[in-house]
Amino acid sequence: MSERTSVDGAEHVHDLLSEYLNGDLPDAERQVIQQHLDACARCRRDYESLRLTVNLLRQIPLHAVPRSFAIAALEPRQSWRLTWLRLSTSALAAVFVALLALRLVLPSAIQPAASTAATGESRVQSQAASASNAQPAAAAPTAAPAAPPMQAAAAAAAPAPRAAQAAATAAPAAQVIRSAAAQPAPGATPTPASGAGVAPLAAASRAAPPGGTVSPPAVVSAAQQAAPVTAPKPALQTDAATAHRTAVSTLPPSTVPPRPATTRRVSTRLPPAPSAPDWYTPLLAAVGVLLAVSLGALVWVSRRR
């Protein structure tokens, strides 16, 4: 190295001037160049012009950025997922809040709904009872197996939409409530099932006195026959109902002319059930669980991004 940077090797010094200028040469080389520059005017000029050049470059100001280069609307793959999650989460939250509001702010709105649901059910049962007290009790067991499940489900679901319509004073939530309320009804719900054995009895006995055509023991036997069948399977409760509906239709109209009308009127005047509507708690729980899942997914997705 030292040979290269000796006084006679001006060209080599020239090659190292740039690094010398940067100050990143080892001390030994730097001293050699320093001595050479002191001695050689040509190399000194070279060095000086290089230094000025670099100084000029360092004075170039930074140009202001004409705009932000931040990237907008990234990743369409995930954004639709996120959009859907956001939509569903807010929809579920709205339903959840609406349900709570219904319970807390408007208890009056929910109570009539509850009574309608209850009376709707008891009406079906009282209808059954009224039919069975006109027709021989044997008609119910024979017709029951024939009842199509779809019809049974529809019959069980029937009270629920009405309750939902009555309850759904909050417009946006109405549709969700209705469809959700229809769901739990067919599966129907431990509560009606367990009560089914008792309800027909009461309904039958209530319907019996105005009828008066059949003696009390007959009514009891009809109810008793209905009760054991209904108790094990919830669906049978409605089977009995459809069975009796068919029984009613096969009846000669003259036999029991005003009966269905009167029972219906009587049943709607039944006192409201004291408990909250059956669909309310499961629905609230279902919406709550869905909301939690949706929220969790939303948090997970946004954290991954």
Partner 1 sequence: MTSRRQTAAAPAEALANETERVAAAQRGDSVAFNQLVIAHQELAFNVALRLVGDADSAADVTQDAFLSAYRHLDQFKGGSFRSWLLRIVTNASYDVLRGRRHKTRQSLDEMIEESSFDVPDSGELPETVTLRHEFLEKLQVGLATLPVDQRAVLVLYDIHGLSYEEIGVALETTLGTVKSRLNRARSRLRDYLMQHPELWKP
Nearest-angstrom CA–CA distance, 37 and 47? 8
Which of these segments, 30-38, 65-73, 201-209, 234-242, binds partner 1 (CB under 8 A)? 65-73
Distance (Å, whole) CA 32 – CA 113: 102
Max Cα distance, the chain (Å): 140
48 touches 20 (CB < 8 A):
no
Binding span for partner 1 by CB under 8 A among 68-76, 100-108, 159-167, 231-239? 68-76
Return the SS3 of 106: coil
The nearest distance, CB 233 to partner 1, in angstroms, is: 52
Q: Is 50 in the site for partner 1 (CB under 8 A)?
A: yes
**Number of residues near partner 1 (by CB under 8 A):** 30
What gap in Å lies between CA 232 and CA 137, rounded to an integer?
Answer: 19
Q: How far apart are CA 141 and CA 139, in angstroms?
A: 6
Amino acid at 260: P
Q: Does 38 bind partner 1 (CB under 8 A)?
A: no
When the beta carbons of 68 and 249 are compared against partner 1, the nearer one is 68
H or E element that contains 143: helix 139-143
Tokens linked to 248: 């009613």
When asked if residue 19 is in the footprint of partner 1 (CB under 8 A), the reply is yes
Among 4, 7, 75, 296, binds partner 1 (CB under 8 A): 75
Q: Toward partner 1, which CB reaches closer, 74 or 87?
A: 74
- In this complex, which beta carbon is closest to partner 1, that of residue 21 or of residue 109? 21
Handedness of CA 128, 132, 270, 104 (dihedral sign): negative
- Write down the residue that tokens 């059949």 correspond to: 214
Binding string, 81-120, against partner 1, x = CB under 8 A? ----------------------------------------
Taking the C-alpha atoms of residue 125 and residue 130, their distance in angstroms, rounded to an integer, is 9
Q: How far apart are CA 96 and CA 102, in angstroms?
A: 10
One of 1, 2, 4, 15 touching partner 1 (CB under 8 A) = 15
Residue 49 vs 83, nearer CB to partner 1: 49
- Name which position in 2, 18, 215, 250 contacts partner 1 (CB under 8 A): 18
Comparing CB distances to partner 1, the nearer of 48 and 136 is: 48
| Residue 41 or 62 with smaller CB distance to partner 1 | 62
Residues of the shown chain interacting with partner 1 in the complex, contacts defined by CB under 8 A:
15, 17-19, 49-50, 52-54, 56-71, 74-75, 78, 304-305
